[in-house]
């Protein structure tokens, strides 16, 4: 029963955040200077007749009082209707849907690469000789401080134009995914590696590690089979960081490598002041954040029975 209540609370909190996000997008649309009806018809240069504007206002409910518009706004979002792009004249969900696969591919490749690098470095250097730890910590600092867009330029300079190993633009088979994924992954690996190494060094002091060693387990087995699992928990709870780093990184990486994807769709929408698309992507990122958070919480509940009693 308590577990059910806990899940219920988390669902309610998630729905609350999404409601807040939807309200925010409504406020943005309403407090943006300029007539939304004119934006729908095609921006400043279109010079529509008053009749056309009136028709658009009636069609989009722009002549209704604000609370009716607000209710209609929420209802549309609940049904999965994020409006129509000013620029593309297609539904926002369709515009995002067409680009989603490319971004998911990039984000998964980047996340997997970043995590693998962080785990490898942390396992190899935690509680090792001082110079080795110093080296790892310096590498993490540099990786975490390097802006994605510069890292991409350096990777292109060396591997694409210097050594001619990988293509410079996206969408040309698996080889064209290597540099963008690496570009997305290295700063993430720096941040995660730092967190993971500190938590691994703490876990290696725990009594259960001593008992594992006393049973005659080798150092590598202790690290990989016993310590790593415990040390990974802080990485899983950094939900906001993951979503932000992958989506924010995708915006820059896709632009730099001229790849298809939601990030590039977003940048061109910002340039064209295509508000529905911008808000659609932002709402989608909030949805991803809420869902991932929820899944992580439920996984914890399944993995760690102590939490059930606490809840």
Q: By CB under 8 A, which span of 86-94, 120-128, 158-166, 208-216 interacts with other proteins?
A: 158-166
Q: Does 175 bind other proteins (CB under 8 A)?
A: no
Looking at the DSSP assignment, which residues form a beta bridge with residue 91?
84
Report the nearest approach of other proteins to the CB of residue 222 (Å): 28
Give the torsion through C-alpha atoms of 121, 126, 129, 134, to 10 deg. 60
Q: Which of residues 246-265 bind other proteins (CB under 8 A)?
A: 247-248, 251-252, 255-256
Q: Which of residues 176-205 bind other proteins (CB under 8 A)?
A: none
Q: Which of residues 209-248 bind other proteins (CB under 8 A)?
A: 240, 243-244, 247-248
State which of residues 85, 186, 286, 297 lies at the interface with other proteins (CB under 8 A). Answer: 286
Rounded alpha-carbon distances, angstroms, from residue 252 to 89, 258, 263, 287? 25, 10, 7, 21
143-154 burial, b if ≥16 CB within 10 A, otherwise e?
A: bbebebeebbee
Q: For other proteins, which is the closer residue by CB, 199 or 239?
A: 239
Could you tell me if 259 and 202 are in contact, meaning their C-beta atoms sit under 8 angstroms apart? no
Instruction: Map residues 110-139 to x or -, x wherever contact with other proteins holds by CB under 8 A.
Output: ------------------------x-----
State which of residues 271, 305, 309, 310 lies at the interface with other proteins (CB under 8 A). Answer: 271
Residue 203: CB partners within 8 Å, gap ≥ 6? 209, 227, 230, 231
Could you tell me if 193 and 117 are in contact, meaning their C-beta atoms sit under 8 angstroms apart? yes
Could you tell me if 82 and 279 are in contact, meaning their C-beta atoms sit under 8 angstroms apart? yes
Report the nearest approach of other proteins to the CB of residue 101 (Å): 20
Q: For other proteins, which is the closer residue by CB, 154 or 299?
A: 154
Q: For other proteins, which is the closer residue by CB, 150 or 208?
A: 150
* Cα distance between residue 236 and residue 301, in whole Å: 13
Q: Which of residues 13-72 bind other proteins (CB under 8 A)?
A: 13, 16-18, 20-21, 24, 28, 31-32
Residue 212: CB partners within 8 Å, gap ≥ 6? 222, 226
Report the nearest approach of other proteins to the CB of residue 273 (Å): 6
Report the nearest approach of other proteins to the CB of residue 178 (Å): 17
Q: Does 150 bind other proteins (CB under 8 A)?
A: yes
Q: Which of residues 61-100 bind other proteins (CB under 8 A)?
A: none
Report the nearest approach of other proteins to the CB of residue 11 (Å): 14
* Cα distance between residue 18 and residue 172, in whole Å: 37
Q: Does 141 bind other proteins (CB under 8 A)?
A: yes
Binding site for other proteins (CB under 8 A): 13, 16-18, 20-21, 24, 28, 31-32, 134, 141-142, 144-151, 153-154, 156-157, 160-162, 168, 240, 243-244, 247-248, 251-252, 255-256, 266-267, 269-271, 273-275, 278-279, 281-282, 285-286, 289-290
């Amino acid at each position: 029963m308590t577990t059910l209540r806990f899940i219920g609370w988390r669902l309610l909190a998630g729905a609350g955040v999404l409601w807040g996000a939807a309200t925010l997008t409504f406020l943005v649309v309403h407090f943006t200077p300029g007539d939304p009806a004119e934006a729908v018809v095609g921006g400043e240069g279109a010079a529509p007749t008053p009749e056309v504007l009136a028709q658009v206002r009636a069609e989009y409910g722009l002549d209704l009082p604000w609370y009716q518009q607000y209710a209609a706004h929420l209802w549309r979002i609940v049904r999965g209707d994020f409006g129509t792009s000013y620029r593309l004249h297609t539904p926002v969900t369709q515009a995002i849907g067409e680009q989603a696969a490319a971004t998911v591919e990039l984000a998964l490749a980047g996340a997997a690469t970043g995590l693998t690098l962080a785990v490898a470095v942390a396992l190899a250097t935690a509680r090792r000789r001082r110079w080795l730890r110093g080296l790892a910590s310096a590498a993490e600092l540099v990786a975490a401080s390097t802006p994605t867009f510069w890292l991409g330029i350096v990777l292109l300079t060396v591997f694409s134009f210097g050594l001619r190993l990988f293509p410079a633009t996206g969408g040309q088979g698996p080889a064209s995914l290597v540099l963008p994924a690496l570009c997305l992954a290295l700063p993430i690996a720096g941040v995660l590696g730092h967190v993971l190494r500190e938590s691994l060094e703490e876990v290696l002091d725990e009594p259960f590690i001593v008992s594992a060693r006393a049973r005659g387990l080798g150092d590598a087995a202790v690290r990989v089979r016993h310590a790593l699992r415990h040390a990974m928990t802080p990485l899983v709870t950094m939900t906001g960081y993951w979503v932000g780093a992958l989506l924010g990184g995708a915006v820059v990486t896709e632009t730099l490598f001229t790849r298809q994807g939601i990030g590039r769709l977003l940048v061109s929408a910002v340039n064209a002041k295509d508000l529905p698309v911008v808000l659609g992507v932002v709402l989608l990122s909030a949805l991803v954040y809420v869902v991932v958070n929820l899944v992580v919480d439920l996984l914890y509940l399944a993995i760690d029975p102590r939490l059930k009693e606490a809840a």
